[in-house]
């Protein structure tokens, strides 16, 4: 707890030096020192990496304080777990998987948790297999193989939708339940033939096994159009709607800057986690941005969803998982808190 408060109050000072800005420039104006800031707790989906570096840039450059917010950022334990963290009230906002949120709504129809900003315009879900085990970019090459995945994670949960699109059974291969932290190790040792990843999380594996020896099977190549992790909020939307809008404005501002030039955002995560390898994180961001800044994003703006695409995703989740009730798409994603369209424009 002390570390989090220290970071939320002083990270901007250390980054000012890291990016070469004079102390006080780009930081919260003095007026905010004279009035209380609204405290907000935000949970990531996983560890601190360049995948979520824009949020640390917003913290470091004082964008949240500019909006009257005192934001603390904690690591997460998966993009599914983030939903329950927000639903329980332990966190005001979180980064969680949209398909999992559809399921959560079906099971908890009165939940106040909604997606309010679509961070990953396309889900970066992949299965990565060892070529020396006969795995290619053809999903059917996974037949009879052993695939590692955490017990509760969005890539594993979404596999039945891929199987349906491929007109094959979800039992095409055998799941081997493995902790996130052990996934690379079981792949390197050859304990399994393949493993699930967020594509941008696989750079750690690429550092240990030459990419030429691995086959990357992207879910999107099966014809699926799935939105991935989104910014979620619960009671905050009713109790402090202006704070929710302020958080999105500041985060959107930082995301646009990071897409244009990532150096300051990378410096921000290095200040938070000094052990990070910045060559790896730069490579990771190069993959991440492909899923954040897509042709659809360039057409409708950062953070938004296309209603038809969202409706199909809700239908797909409801069908594949046999949901007792299908939530209305507008209950799952609420666009009312998005920054103005002009602020969300992004170039290729």
Q: Where are the domains of the chain?
A: 38-121+227-343, 125-222
How far is it, in rounded angstroms, from Cα 201 to Cα 70? 29
Mean pLDDT of 2-26: 42
How far is it, in rounded angstroms, from Cα 108 to Cα 99? 14
Is the predicted pLDDT of residue 12 greater than 60, yes or no? no
Query: Would you call 184 helix, strand, or coil by DSSP?
Result: helix
- Quote the tokens at residue 50: 């360049």
Q: Which CATH class is domain 38-121+227-343?
A: alpha beta
How far is it, in rounded angstroms, from Cα 18 to Cα 63? 17
- Position 34 scores a pLDDT of 55
Mean pLDDT of 21-37: 52
Mean pLDDT of 172-195: 96
Report pLDDT digits (tens) over 51-92: 999 999 999 999 999 999 999 999 998 888 899 999 999 999
Is residue 117 within 8 A of residue 229, CB to CB? The reply is: no
Is the predicted pLDDT of residue 15 greater than 50, yes or no? no
pTM of the model: 0.86
Q: Is 181 or 127 the better-scoring residue by pLDDT?
A: 127
Query: Would you call 38 helix, strand, or coil by DSSP?
Result: strand
State what percent of residues in the chain have pLDDT above 70: 90
Mean pLDDT of 246-258: 98
Q: Do domains 38-121+227-343 and 125-222 have the same CATH topology?
A: yes
Q: Where are the beta strands (DSSP E) in the chain?
A: 38-43, 69-74, 93-97, 114-118, 125-130, 146-149, 174-177, 194-198, 214-218, 229-233
- Position 16 scores a pLDDT of 46
**Which DSSP string corresponds to 191-241?**
SSSEEEEEGGGTHHHHTTS-GGGEEEEEGGGGT-----EEEEESTHHHH-H
Indicate the pLDDT class of residue 337, thresholds 50, 70 and 90.
Answer: very high
- Position 5 scores a pLDDT of 37
State what percent of residues in the chain have pLDDT above 90: 83
Q: What is the CA radius of gyration of the chain?
A: 20
CATH code of the domain made up of 125-222: 3.40.190.10
């Amino acid at each position: 707890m002390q570390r989090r408060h220290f970071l939320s109050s002083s990270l901007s000072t250390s980054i000012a030096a890291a990016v070469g800005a004079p102390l006080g420039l780009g930081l919260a104006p003095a007026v905010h020192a004279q009035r209380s800031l609204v405290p907000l707790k935000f949970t990531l989906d996983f560890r601190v990496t360049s995948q979520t570096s824009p949020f640390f840039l917003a913290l470091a450059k004082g964008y949240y304080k500019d909006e009257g917010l005192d934001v603390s950022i904690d690591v997460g334990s998966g993009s599914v777990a983030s939903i329950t963290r927000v639903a329980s009230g332990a966190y005001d906002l979180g980064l969680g998987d949209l398909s999992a949120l559809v399921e959560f709504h079906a099971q908890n129809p009165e939940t106040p948790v909604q997606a309010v900003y679509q961070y990953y315009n396309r889900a970066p879900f992949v299965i990565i297999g060892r070529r020396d085990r006969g795995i290619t970019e053809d999903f059917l090459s996974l037949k009879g193989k052993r695939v590692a995945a955490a017990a509760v994670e969005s890539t594993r949960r979404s596999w039945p939708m891929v199987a349906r699109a491929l007109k094959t059974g979800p039992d095409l291969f055998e799941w081997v339940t493995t902790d996130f932290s052990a996934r690379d190790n079981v792949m390197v040792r050859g304990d399994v033939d393949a493993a699930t990843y967020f594509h941008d999380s696989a750079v750690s594996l690429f550092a240990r096994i030459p990419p030429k020896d691995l086959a990357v099977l992207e879910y999107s190549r099966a014809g699926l159009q799935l939105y991935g992790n989104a910014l979620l909020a619960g009671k905050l939307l009713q109790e402090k709607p202006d704070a929710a809008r302020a958080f999105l404005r500041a985060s959107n501002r930082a995301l646009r800057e990071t897409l244009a030039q990532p150096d300051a955002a990378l410096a921000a995560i290095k200040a938070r986690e000094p052990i990070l390898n910045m060559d790896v994180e730069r490579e990771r961001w190069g993959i991440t941005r492909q899923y954040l800044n897509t042709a659809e994003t360039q057409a409708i703006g950062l953070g938004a969803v296309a209603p038809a695409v969202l409706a199909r995703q809700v239908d797909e989740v409801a069908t594949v998982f046999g949901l007792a009730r299908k939530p209305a798409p507008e209950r799952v994603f609420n666009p009312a808190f998005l920054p103005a369209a002009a602020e969300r424009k992004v170039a290729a």
